[in-house]
A and B are shown apart, each in its own frame.
Chain A
């Protein structure tokens, strides 16, 4: 990279700028929208100049939408909380189940090992709807309909294969020598796993967890079909601003902004793990 000419540097800067505009402009625009009244949003042509209002956020956070037609309740914060709860518990469970399994596939060659690994990954192949249709019937029978537990179980379909796949690759690229040395020192297998293997794979686990979290967060159809209104995530909750007396565009925008915030916060916090963690062979040295 040292031999870059001036022209190339300029091209690079322009390209990065274009990329940032393409990916960030929509978010920026929605962000602006979230501070506008419906009247401002519906102006023709659209304009970036307006008097900002926090009324949209106020309505979402207090759960009261005051309009000419009266006061409406909007359970958006409840939706947000559901998303946090469903996604984080699902990811934690997926990690508890997935990390030991990933370790087993990476460290041991055992009969049917590859088959089990492939079976687990193949749950990702099943179209969500295929499973969902009969599942809603069975859930009814075993009483899992409309429970967080049932939803979290189904969310494993999203989280578990992703975690298995990424963490397994990470384990495989860590040399087993360190673990071996520790074992020779007289430590139990379990101690080796928790004290050496897992910490070494930390960035990989963190990155896989974050990606799984994002995919759980973005899910739409599972909760819609399997749970009642008080357990719906933000993805469903954000549609609630379409009412017969008009669409609350400003609140839709504010809802989108709020729904992105928690994941963004986690991503910013975990950013140093993210790239490193996904690089699988990074520590191979």
Chain B
């Protein structure tokens, strides 16, 4: 590398030039983006190498299954460092999110050994774990021969560690003493409010204080703005509609999806008075000020609308607002972030979370080598690299979340994001009851929501029917 190029990176490290300028400058000097990233993180990789035999599986060839996502992009940008550190080869298959989990199910259900590790969410491991498709990673983490002494598992936020560990008993508490670590948290998102500050100013509205307030303000925004709608939430016929804002608010009202009896039997709990009241609020909000095509809305439409100025607010993943506040989006720089406790009586937000995690294929043939990759990809070094240099947010490690460089970077570009994160994260965890029928229950739930929003069935009756149907399914599966 030329002296000029080296100087360039030194300048960057000293904070004299921005990442963008660095990349542009590097490009002019004939250094590709990948090489540039490689050099950026090379120093920290050297730090990682001390005291642990990273080269143990030199020459091994790993194959990964990844979802098309900025987190995967961040990992790929840093992948050369992994190769240099371990002497292993790592290749990957990337599938579009629309079909990603079907592809995972297809690969695992056919007992394919093709992939060594893959991206997943915690909910999916409630299927993969009992089916015997993924390994308990607790055994690896605890084994000093397999895990770098500097790995610092305890640095990973406790709520995330617990949320990705389950004992496999339907209804069993997440993170219990006998729980198995089905996957390693990689980066996560919690659900809160992101809003368009310009629109709020125009309509003279402050960020909502609670759910009734949100219902009211969303309606006012829809009316006053003349064009954009008040609130974007997901509505497609899928589990994905239930888990973001909807369940976060539901949990804030103290409601449960299922209850576990003394005999360990599960029972649907959507038909309580409290649940019905919350459903009514949510449904009124969607009917009056939600997107017109709500029942086909997935997260990316929720995001695109906010970014394109078609909606004023979203109650969805905080990182979705984050992504829409940057990039090529029309409303970039106009968004605000706001921690949200829907229940007027609640003291703090209770956001449900989505954790992009890494899991190990049980049918894989080189598990120890795969674990090397997983611990590298979830190491403090990679997390810090991702959080400060790419869009690998929210970081799962406390040390990274508290890192000054990270906080400064976010505060500079994303108004209120760090405060939102700090206010929301203490109550952030998975609020679902872990059990193998998760997708059956949530899809049915979304179906019922759609019917109720379309006024095909009144809320009280719809929820009674839903609970009855779920109870029957639980019973058929021997869980209820």
Contact = CB atoms under 8 A, between A and B. Distances in A.
User: Within 8 Å by CB, do A and B touch in the complex?
Assistant: yes
Interface in A205-263: 224-226, 228-230, 232, 236, 239-247
Nearest to A72: B73
Contacts of B77: 70
A14 interface: no
A225 B68 CA distance: 17
A224 B102 contact: yes
A146 B93 CA distance: 12
Contact of A236 (B23, B70, B99, B391): B99
A136 interface: yes
Contacts of B121: none
A145 interface: yes
A58 to B, nearest CB: 16
B433 interface: no
Contact of B110 (A67, A136, A239, A244): A136
Q: Which of A224, A226, A230, A246 has the most CB of B within 10 A?
A: A246
B68 A240 contact: yes
A7 interface: no
A139 interface: yes
Contact of A228 (B93, B303, B307, B310): B93
Contact of B114 (A71, A146, A232): A146
Interface in B26-47: 33
Contact of A240 (B96, B103, B319): B96
B38 to A, nearest CB: 14
A246 B304 contact: yes
Interface string A26-50: 0000000000001100101000000
A137 interface: yes
B326 A42 contact: no
Interface in B276-331: 300, 303-304, 307-308, 310, 319-320, 323-324, 326-330
A145 B114 contact: yes
B323 A244 contact: yes
B323 A136 contact: no
A38 B303 CA distance: 14
B109 interface: yes
Nearest to B329: A246
Contacts of B106: 136, 224-226
A70 B23 contact: yes
A263 B310 CA distance: 37
B365 interface: no
B98 A239 contact: yes
Nearest to A68: B327
A44 B319 CA distance: 25
A229 B93 contact: yes
Contacts of B391: 69, 245
Interface residues of A, number: 33
B402 to A, nearest CB: 24
Given A145-B110, A229-B94, A246 B327 contact: yes
Nearest to A248: B328
B409 interface: no
A92 to B, nearest CB: 28
A140 interface: yes
B328 A68 contact: yes
A236 to B, nearest CB: 7
B111 A137 contact: yes
Interface string A136-151: 1101100001100000
Contacts of A243: 68-70, 97
A69 B329 CA distance: 12
B328 A246 contact: yes
Nearest to B69: A244
Given A224-B99, A239-B99, A246-B303, A69 B109 contact: no
A137 B103 CA distance: 14
Contact of B68 (A39, A71, A137, A242): A242
B57 interface: no
A98 B137 CA distance: 52
A5 B374 CA distance: 77
Nearest to A41: B308
A221 to B, nearest CB: 9
Contacts of B102: 224-225
B420 interface: no
A236 B96 contact: yes
Given A139-B110, A244-B319, 6 more contacts: A69-B327, A70-B23, A70-B390, A140-B110, A232-B95, A244-B70
23 contacts: A39-B330, A42-B304, A42-B308, A44-B227, A67-B327, A68-B328, A69-B327, A70-B23, A72-B73, A137-B110, A224-B99, A224-B102, A226-B106, A229-B94, A229-B95, A236-B99, A240-B94, A242-B300, A244-B303, A246-B304, A246-B307, A246-B328, A246-B329
Interface of A: 38-39, 42, 44, 67-72, 136-137, 139-140, 145-146, 224-226, 228-230, 232, 236, 239-247
The 6 closest A-B pairs by CB, nearest first: A229-B93, A239-B96, A136-B110, A42-B308, A240-B96, A225-B106
Interface of B: 23, 33, 68-70, 73, 77, 93-99, 102-103, 106, 109-112, 114, 227, 300, 303-304, 307-308, 310, 319-320, 323-324, 326-330, 390-391
